[in-house]
Amino acid sequence: MNALELKVPPPAMAAVVALLIYGGDWLWPAAWLGTAPTGLVLGVVALALLIGVAAVAHFFQVGTTVHPHCPDKSRVLVARGVYRFSRNPMYLALLLMLVAWSLHLGWPGAPLGWALFVAWITRFQIRPEERILAQVFGEEYRDYCRRVRRWL
């Protein structure tokens, strides 16, 4: 399983899960459930974009990599802005986009997709990143991990 670590780009995994949720809705429609109000869906999308853009902007401001397959090339530990609340706001933003998509579709099985995304990203992306960042930044990173949660 280690062969999968840091291999699948997180946006690609989010797209796969979005397709699985769409497929589930297509195969087992729950029209009786209805969809969420458009305002709620757009609000979740806006929150996801706000978090995601802010997270990427912090990386660009300090001149470190946002490439998810190269955490060893990180030059600065970003611990401000949205990174004070989540160690992984970019992945949180992707999860919120999946939530918005699910609310739009109204398929009650969608939380299974969210769980799949969280489990996959945690196992094959976040944990390997954490091992590498602990090597790169040492005690500074371990202290950050004690102060800030992995997701929220």
User: Identity (one letter) of the amino acid at 15?
Assistant: A
C-alpha 126/C-alpha 141 separation (Å) is 14
Q: What pLDDT digit, counting tens, does each position of 99-119 carry?
A: 999 999 989 999 999 999 999
Q: What is the pTM of this model?
A: 0.95
Q: What pLDDT does residue 22 have? A: 96
pLDDT above 80: residue 32: no
User: Terminus-to-terminus CA distance in the chain, angstroms?
Assistant: 26
